[in-house]
A and B are shown apart, each in its own frame.
Chain A
């Protein structure tokens, strides 16, 4: 059974970079059939797609965040990562990693999510 697990600091200071990693188990991140994405949800609010990456390193980013986002992949560790720079309190959210089929933009497997708070 495919599982995704987010990891990283739960507290980040304003203006710093938020860094999270998603570890995939029960399947290969190098499958040609899937993209791997990040989605966030501010407390009590809705869902926002951040970006997605293919095992080859090809990426798609949400234009609203593109200037601050980098998503990378490490196939040897079956992991992909999110960096979000220059964070503010508005970036406080639960961050989820998720899978979607190649160029099919619905998310069928999700991690449990990790809360990241931006505060000094």
Chain B
């Protein structure tokens, strides 16, 4: 299985801040990397697929980049509704595997 790691595991930020979350795969996965947002008690929501393609309806303040083994999710200006946990997931090979998550909370 391909192992996914994320850093940091948590971060505190203020509304209006820009943040970056990093995801690393244990082997080369091309651009088969997806990002999800999960709020407490809710199902994950797909934000970005193919490393950089925004899912329909996702605000443009979210962006993704990277290829190979190293990827980033950037939120350009945090909004109150963005405080959540973010997961990366590789879709290069089965089984699809998720990172451990990055919790973004309010400073």
**A46: nearest residue on chain B (CB-CB)?**
B100
- Residue tally, chain A, CB below 8 Å to B: 19
Which residues from B are CB-within-8-Å of A86? none
Seen from chain B, the residues whose Cβ lies within 8 Å of a Cβ on chain A are 1, 32, 34, 36, 42-46, 49, 55, 87, 89, 91, 94-101
Check A49–B43 contact: CB distance below 8 A.
no
Seen from chain A, the residues whose Cβ lies within 8 Å of a Cβ on chain B are 46-49, 60, 62-64, 96, 98, 104-108, 110-113
Which residues from A are CB-within-8-Å of B49? 104, 106, 108
Check A47–B95 contact: CB distance below 8 A.
no
- The answer, among A48, A104, A110, for a CB contact under 8 Å with B43, is A110
Check B96–A49 contact: CB distance below 8 A.
yes
Check B95–A106 contact: CB distance below 8 A.
no
Which residues from A are CB-within-8-Å of B34? 106
- Using known A-B contacts A110-B43, A110-B44, determine if residue A47 contacts B91 with beta carbons closer than 8 Å: no
